[in-house]
Amino acid sequence: MKKAILALSLCMSLMACEDTGKPQDVPKPDNNTESVGPYDVTFSGKDQSYTHSFNISPHDDEGAVDYHITTPASVDIQFVDTRLQVAGCPVSSVKHQVYWLQDANQPLVQMLKVGETFRTRAGMKGIFRHFIRGLGGCNSMSLTTNIKVKPQIARTCNGTLEPATCQVMAYCRQSGTSYYSEVEVWKETRGLVLRKFMNRGDGTRSLQVMADVAKLVQGNITSYNDSYGDASLRIDGVTRAGQFTGVSSSERLDCEL
């Protein structure tokens, strides 16, 4: 069976990791046919949405269609909908999967279903990819993609004893939809307090680290450090990239504030 690509801007072996952490092989077609895309995504309108459709006559059994996404700040994007239609072949024989590569230069990807959310990294090109197989014998194929930026949530001090006065001064998180780290800096009566949580993705999270910190600004870099050196958060104000450093771990994060 001939394996060719409709659009593949990154010709390399890929591994997809589901939330369980189990790696899954992502097929790699050969780059030896005419391409469809890649397409550069620009979000527009009040709802910051992007919709794209095309129709082709496929000549190969399988292929990929890539959408390049680069945002100036890290944002959450919802995979709203996709519609795949074929003619001249059994619909049941066509397999369609969608992936998100947060960094086009890295092989780790997130498998997506309609309604799920993926996250960009500030200034970094990511790839939203459709992979379709079983197109042998199809006379035509049409594909519609619909994604949109999710509005930023107003952060609150969830669980504080000072709900009227507490403010979230910084919020950073890892990528992923379940079991990811969140780091927040709260402004309380006692001063600035750093809290690190493990978010399970089901609406619950557990506190892992809590430390009183001091704020230091040097150029574009804002740091929150505790006096014992047990916990610190460093944020680049331009790229919104964050780095949490603890006693036994160091994690790269995306920051909103």
In the predicted model, is pLDDT for residue 28 greater than 50?
no
Q: What residues does each domain of the chain span?
A: 14-149, 167-255
pTM of the model: 0.61
Q: Which residue has the tokens 């269609």?
A: 65
Q: Is the pLDDT of residue 256 over 80?
A: no
Q: Which CATH class is domain 14-149?
A: mainly beta
Q: Which residue has the tokens 């557990």?
A: 206
Residues 212-225, mean pLDDT to the nearest whole number = 94
Please say whether the beta carbons of 78 and 122 come within 8 A: no
249 pLDDT higher than 80: no
pLDDT at 170: 92
As a whole number of Å, the end-to-end CA separation of the chain is 51
- Judge whether residue 127 has pLDDT over 50: yes
What integer is the mean pLDDT of 197-221? 92
Query: Is the predicted pLDDT of residue 246 greater than 80, yes or no?
Result: yes
Task: Write down the pLDDT at residue 35.
Answer: 53
Q: What percent of the chain has pLDDT over 70?
A: 86
Give the pLDDT confidence of 81-122 residue by residue, as tens digits: 999 999 999 999 999 999 999 888 887 788 999 999 888 887
pLDDT at residue number 146: 96
Which pLDDT belongs to residue 27? 39
For every residue of the chain, DSSP letters joined together read ---B-S--SS-S-EEEE-TT--EEEE---BS-S-----EE---BTTTTEEEEEEEE---SSEEEEEEEE--SS--EEEEEEEEEEEESS-GGG-EEEEEEESSTTS-EEEEE-TT-EEE--TT--EEEEEEEE--TT-SEEEEEEEEEEPPPPPP--TT-S-TTT-EEEEEEE-SSSSSEEEEEEEEETTEEEEEEEEE-SSS-EEEEEEEEEEEEEETTEEEEE-TTSSEEEEEETTT-EEEEEESS-EEEEEE--
pLDDT digits (tens, 9 = 90+) for 131-184: 999 998 899 999 999 999 988 777 889 888 888 899 999 999 887 777 889 999
257 or 86: which leads in pLDDT: 86
- Average pLDDT (74-86) is 92
Q: What is the pLDDT of residue 257?
A: 65
- The predicted structure's pLDDT at residue 33: 37
